[in-house]
């Protein structure tokens, strides 16, 4: 693990992209490198708040850039570090783009193969700035990065799902984690407002295509949501939605008593879903030793 403090190197093209609402003289960042090559950027914003973003090297040589959309988070999912102190504020368009610029500059001469809004915050609760940032990233005169290579993750803000599908061509990933309303509400309090029925109803209206299937993220907790019965319920829930499932072994941390499912259980769960026609993948955790893995980013 290594760490060093520096100012972001902001090029002229990026400066022309910004709306001029960030004082770059006060923007600082700490770069922390994991033993597996994952790199976490801790950005100190002009008002002193901290946000984090991550460069994730993948096994096939591809590179994923993970962006935050808010400082903190209001949703307080019990498995996520980000929400433990609540929401401080939305990030501006410029603050989202500056994260991207810092990471893009860091990986040069390589370029990212995917960009995900899976860092701190709920992107669909900072809707306008996230959509604006996606358009900037896609703009041929700016980053010229294809929208279908961008994925936005949501805890399930049901009344924004169809809007998102119509307003851009980026992919949408829904953090589901259970097909049972009571259990999902225990894990994710947002389910009391946007329950599974509401989410699935909106997902069925989402404009999908061959390159744009809906994704459902399913964090696996030992003894909580990882049984054969849970797999069958999930398959039944998703059977009529063109989609794929990403299984994510829980990244354990001191702020939660939950435990990750055993590897053989995760594999069983995948095979069960696949046998029922659900395209399923297991996501490899990266950057755990520096608190950069899924659910571990902290304000």
By annotation, the residues acting in catalysis are 52, 294
Task: Give the CA radius of gyration of the chain.
Answer: 18
What is the C-alpha separation between 119 and 103, in angstroms, rounded?
14
The pair of structure tokens assigned to 4 is: 């060093």
What is the C-alpha separation between 126 and 93, in angstroms, rounded?
10
What is the C-alpha separation between 164 and 150, in angstroms, rounded?
13
SS3 176: coil
**Reading across the β-sheet that carries 39-44, which strands appear in turn?**
2-6, 28-33, 39-44, 50-57, 63-66, 114-117, 150-154, 171-175, 214-220, 243-249, 279-282
- How far is C-alpha 248 from the geometric centre of its chain's CA atoms? 12
Which one-letter DSSP state was computed for residue 213? Answer: -
Find the angle CA(289)-CA(117)-CA(192) to the nearest 5 degrees: 95
The pair of structure tokens assigned to 101 is: 């610029």
């Amino acid at each position: 693990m290594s760490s060093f403090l520096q100012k972001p190197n902001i090029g002229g093209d990026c400066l022309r992209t910004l709306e001029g609402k960030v004082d770059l003289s006060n923007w600082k960042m700490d770069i922390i490198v994991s033993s597996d090559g994952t790199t976490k950027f801790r950005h100190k914003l002009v008002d002193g708040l901290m946000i984090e973003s991550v460069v994730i090297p993948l096994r096939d040589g591809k590179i994923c850039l993970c962006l935050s959309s808010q400082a903190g988070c209001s949703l307080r999912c019990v498995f996520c570090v980000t929400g433990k102190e609540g929401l401080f504020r939305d990030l501006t368009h410029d603050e989202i783009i500056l994260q991207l610029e810092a990471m893009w500059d860091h990986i040069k001469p390589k370029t990212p193969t995917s960009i995900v809004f899976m860092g701190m915050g709920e992107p669909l609760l900072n809707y306008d700035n996230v959509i604006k940032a996606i358009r900037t990233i896609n703009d041929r005169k700016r980053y010229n990065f294809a929208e279908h290579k961008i994925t936005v993750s949501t805890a399930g803000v049901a009344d924004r799902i169809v809007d998102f599908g119509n307003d851009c061509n980026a992919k949408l990933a829904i953090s589901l984690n259970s097909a049972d309303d009571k259990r999902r509400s225990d894990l994710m309090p947002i389910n009391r407002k946007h329950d599974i029925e509401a989410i699935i109803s909106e997902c069925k209206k989402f404009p999908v295509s061959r390159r744009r299937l809906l994704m459902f993220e399913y964090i696996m907790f030992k003894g909580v949501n990882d049984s054969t019965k849970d797999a069958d319920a999930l398959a039944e829930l998703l059977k009529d939605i063109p989609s794929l499932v990403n299984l994510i072994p829980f990244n354990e941390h001191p702020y939660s008593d939950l435990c990750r499912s055993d590897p053989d259980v995760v594999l069983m769960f995948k095979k069960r879903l696949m046998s029922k026609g659900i395209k399923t993948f297991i996501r490899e955790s990266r950057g755990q030793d520096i608190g950069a893995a899924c659910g571990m980013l902290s304000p």
